[in-house]
């Protein structure tokens, strides 16, 4: 029953994340006005704004102008609901669940905005660093020192990579947004997870880059946003980090 509530809660938060994804890059208010159809601007009634369910009932179209509603809306709601349930099963009804769910929600918004606009909004990553540090004082999964070193290592290492890259190739390879994102990941997950996140995101990013080059024939200058890979690496670290680190140490005994 509680898990079901966590799914509904996740879907509702997902609905709000859609608003953030749509409005944050335009620097619009995320609380006012209410949702509108992007085609005909008609305000969306509350009964047409039920996460996941309204999309199915309306068959993916605006009730007023009948033009299609982006599949991104139910997709984000579904992913957020699923993530909420998984975290709830892992952490139970606790502050840890709430903090990690806030972390996951931030990563979802950052990923989609970075994919669309190649920016990572400071309004998420910078407060995120503060919330992560605060969480380390409250929840049992991480201590403050681990979190603080995570921020410094996360921010510092990518800052170094970005500076060296720019010096070598005379162009920006990694945005300042990535630096702040990895600092936020370090705040929530600690310094070990930062190393794991860098390894995982570089690996997945490189494989994706090679596949893109083969499929599209684009060269390395074609900048793929790195934020989604950092976010994916962080999510894997959150769920499997301890197992991966233990497995790695076992292999290197
Ligand atoms: Zn419409």
Q: How far is the CA of 64 from the centre of ligand 1 (A)?
A: 5
- Which residues lie below 8 Å from residue 216, measured CB to CB, with a gap of 6+? none
Top-confidence residue, 18 or 167:
18
Q: How far is the CA of 60 from the centre of ligand 1 (A)?
A: 11
Q: How far is the CA of 63 from the centre of ligand 1 (A)?
A: 7
Q: How far is the CA of 138 from the centre of ligand 1 (A)?
A: 45
Q: How far is the CA of 82 from the centre of ligand 1 (A)?
A: 28
Rounded Cα distance, 145 and 186, in Å: 11
Q: How far is the CA of 34 from the centre of ligand 1 (A)?
A: 14
Rounded Cα distance, 6 and 23, in Å: 25
Which residues make up the environment of ion ligand 1, defined by Cβ < 5 Å?
37, 39-40, 62, 64-65
pTM of the prediction? 0.91
- Which residues lie below 8 Å from residue 187, measured CB to CB, with a gap of 6+? 128, 129, 130, 131, 132, 133, 135, 136, 147, 150, 151, 154
Q: How far is the CA of 146 from the centre of ligand 1 (A)?
A: 49
Q: How far is the CA of 219 from the centre of ligand 1 (A)?
A: 40
Q: pLDDT (tens digit, 9 = 90+) per residue, 68-123? A: 999 999 999 999 999 999 999 999 999 999 999 999 999 999 999 999 999 999 99
Q: pLDDT (tens digit, 9 = 90+) per residue, 153-207? A: 999 988 888 788 788 877 766 778 999 999 999 999 999 999 999 999 989 988 9
- Which residues lie below 8 Å from residue 93, measured CB to CB, with a gap of 6+? 2
- Which residues lie below 8 Å from residue 101, measured CB to CB, with a gap of 6+? 10, 13, 83, 84, 87
């Amino acid at each position: 029953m509680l898990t079901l509530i966590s799914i509904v809660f996740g879907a509702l938060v997902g609905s709000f994340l859609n608003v953030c994804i749509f409005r944050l890059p335009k620097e619009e208010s995320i609380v006012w006005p209410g949702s509108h159809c992007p085609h005909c601007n008609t305000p969306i009634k509350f009964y047409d704004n039920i996460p996941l369910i309204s999309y199915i009932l309306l068959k993916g179209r605006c009730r007023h102008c009948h033009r299609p509603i982006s599949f991104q809306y139910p997709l984000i709601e579904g992913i957020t609901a699923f993530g909420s349930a998984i975290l709830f099963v892992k952490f139970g009804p606790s502050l840890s669940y709430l903090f990690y769910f806030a972390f996951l929600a931030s990563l979802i918004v950052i990923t989609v905005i970075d994919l669309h606009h190649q920016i990572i909004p400071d309004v998420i990553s910078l407060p995120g660093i503060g919330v992560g540090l605060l969480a380390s004082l409250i929840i049992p999964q991480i201590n403050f020192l681990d979190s603080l070193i995570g921020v410094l290592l996360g921010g510092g290492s990518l800052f170094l990579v970005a500076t060296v890259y720019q010096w070598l190739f005379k162009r920006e390879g990694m945005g300042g947004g990535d630096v702040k994102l990895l600092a936020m990941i370090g705040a929530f997950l600690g310094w070990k997870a930062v190393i794991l996140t860098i390894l995982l995101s570089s690996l997945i990013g490189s494989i994706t880059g090679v596949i893109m080059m083969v499929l599209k024939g684009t060269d390395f200058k074609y900048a793929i946003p790195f934020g989604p890979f950092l976010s994916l690496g962080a999510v894997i670290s959150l769920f499997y980090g301890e197992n991966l680190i233990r497995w790695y140490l076992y292999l290197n005994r």
